[in-house]
Amino acid sequence: MANYKDIIVGCKDKKGGIIEAFHALQNEFNYIPKEALVEAARVFGVSEAQAYGVATFYSYLSVEKRGKYIIRMCESAPCHVAGADELLKALESQLGIKVGETTPDGKFTLELTECVGQCQATPVITVNSEPVFNVTAKILPQVLAAYK
């Protein structure tokens, strides 16, 4: 696992550097650790409040510790019509968590997202940004088993 300081310094001279750093941190840790947020503020010459504002503005980024696998349930109208409500209940039941929570073993975090642009294959979930198409409560155990 990379050091957060190295990641931040590696983005120092890039255009939009702080956002690039936050994306790189997110890719490495699945969230932006508090100490990395403080370091980014120092390196990019902004206040901690400004750095926090950038990190929390984008829904993709998180300052809260999350699981190894981020499952996002699309909540757009096409997915809703195709049974997303039932699927969300099944996800919460099978994972034993509610939206916004992480499983006790640190493996899964469940979040909602807007349309992921795959409306031809609804309902859609993403696991670490990889789309999984035509997901139903019936096939959900198989989908989750691939990540356990």
Q: 139 and 91 share a domain?
A: yes
Per-residue confidence (pLDDT) for residue 15, from 0 to 100: 87
In sequence order, what are the residues at sequence separation of 6 or more whose Cβ sits closer than 8 angstroms to the Cβ of residue 148?
107
Q: 130 and 81 share a domain?
A: yes
Amino acid at 138: K
pTM of the model: 0.81
Per-residue confidence (pLDDT) for residue 112, from 0 to 100: 93
In the block, which residue shows the tokens 């510790």?
A: 65
Supply the range of the domain harboring residue 45: 4-57
C-beta of residue 121 within 8 angstroms of C-beta of residue 113: no
Report if residue 64 sits inside a domain: no
At residue 73, what are phi and psi to the nearest 5 degrees?
Answer: -100, 125
Q: 77 and 32 share a domain?
A: no
Q: 51 and 74 share a domain?
A: no
Q: 52 and 73 share a domain?
A: no
pLDDT digits (tens, 9 = 90+) for 112-129: 998 888 999 999 999 998
Give residue 58's pLDDT band: very low, low, confident or very high (50, 70, 90): confident
Q: 88 and 137 share a domain?
A: yes
Compute the mean pLDDT over every residue in the chain, rounded to the nearest whole number.
93
For the record, the structure tokens of 83 come out as 């049974």
Q: What is the DSSP letter of 115?
A: -
Q: What is the DSSP letter of 96?
A: T
Q: 52 and 79 share a domain?
A: no
Can you tell me the distance from the alpha carbon of 10 to that of 84, in angstroms, rounded to the nearest whole number?
40
pLDDT digits (tens, 9 = 90+) for 70-116: 999 999 999 989 999 999 999 999 999 999 999 999 999 999 998 88
For the record, the structure tokens of 106 come out as 């640190």
Report if residue 106 sits inside a domain: yes
Number of domains making up the chain: 2
Can you tell me the distance from the alpha carbon of 8 to that of 92, in angstroms, rounded to the nearest whole number?
35
Report if residue 37 sits inside a domain: yes
Report if residue 62 sits inside a domain: no
Report if residue 63 sits inside a domain: no
State the first-to-last Cα distance of the chain, in angstroms, to the nearest integer.
21
Helix or strand run (H / E) with residue 89: helix 84-95
Per-residue confidence (pLDDT) for residue 1, from 0 to 100: 64
Residue 134 belongs to domain with CATH number: 3.40.30.10
Report if residue 83 sits inside a domain: yes
